[in-house]
Chain A
Amino acid sequence: AQSVTQPDIHITVSEGASLELRCNYSYGATPYLFWYVQSPGQGLQLLLKYFSGDTLVQGIKGFEAEFKRSQSSFNLRKPSVHWSDAAEYFCAVGAVDNYGQNFVFGPGTRLSVLP
């Protein structure tokens, strides 16, 4: 079964600084990887996804992520953080089984942005 770890529970950065959120997964085959963002009291919004091909994927709101198979990682990056980026970020891995697609989420990383 697949699993996802996000080593950082809470990260604080200053507005305008760069950001990297870490994600490591465990899965026996090539995974489908996702990053979602959740604002307080809201549902989750998809930031970006990796299915195959180019290992550097671009997403919405200026985010990007890089798939590194050798490290089983899919870290999320943004060159310059905006105050509106403060939220909870979830990494997820998807796998297709006999019952459809199963998604497993990491515990999340809460991002705080200082003015």
Chain B
Amino acid sequence: SQTIHQWPATLVQPVGSPLSLECTVEGTSNPNLYWYRQAAGRGLQLLFYSVGIGQISSEVPQNLSASRPQDRQFILSSKKLLLSDSGFYLCAWSDYSGANVLTFGAGSRLTVL
């Protein structure tokens, strides 16, 4: 069966520091991968999605970036965090077979101080 792992679960970082959140999927190949952000009391905002290694689509311009160095690995990064980057970050995957469901990781809580 497929599983998705996301880490770290919680992170407290000072403004201006770098960020790296990692997500891996097991039990499938060539998944579509997604990064969402959920600000406090708000819905989900799609940040990036990827249909293959090195193929990243950015939905919202910001100081975050994403990379997909391996088929089942998706990394969210920032060189310098802003206060506004605080939030709950969710990685998700879906099968690249047309209509299918989105399966989420447990999330990473980022607090920027």
Contacts and interface: CB of A to CB of B under 8 A. Distances in A.
Are these two chains actual partners, yes or no?
A: yes
Interface of A: 32, 34, 36, 41-46, 49, 51, 90, 92, 94, 96, 99-108
Q: Chain A interface mostly helix, strand, loop or mixed?
A: strand
B43 A101 contact: no
A100 B96 contact: yes
B101 A46 contact: yes
Interface of B: 6, 32, 34, 36, 42-44, 46, 49, 51, 55, 57, 88, 90, 92, 94, 96, 98-107, 109
What secondary structure prevails in chain B residues at the interface with A?
A: strand
Given A43-B104, A101-B32, A102-B49, A107 B43 contact: yes
A48 B83 CA distance: 36
B90 A100 contact: no
Contact of A42 (B34, B42, B57, B107): B107
B51 to A, nearest CB: 4
B34 A43 contact: no
Contacts, number: 64
Given A43-B107, A101-B32, A92 B51 contact: no
A90 B105 contact: no
Contact of B101 (A34, A43, A100): A34
The 6 A-B residue pairs with the shortest CB-CB distance, nearest first, are A43-B104, A107-B43, A105-B44, A100-B51, A100-B32, A44-B104
Given A43-B90, A44-B104, A105-B44, A96 B57 contact: no
Given A103-B46, A106-B43, A32 B99 contact: yes
A112 to B, nearest CB: 14
Nearest to B104: A43
Contacts of A104: 46
A46 B104 CA distance: 9
Contacts of A41: 88, 107, 109
Given A100-B96, A101-B32, A105-B43, A94 B105 contact: no
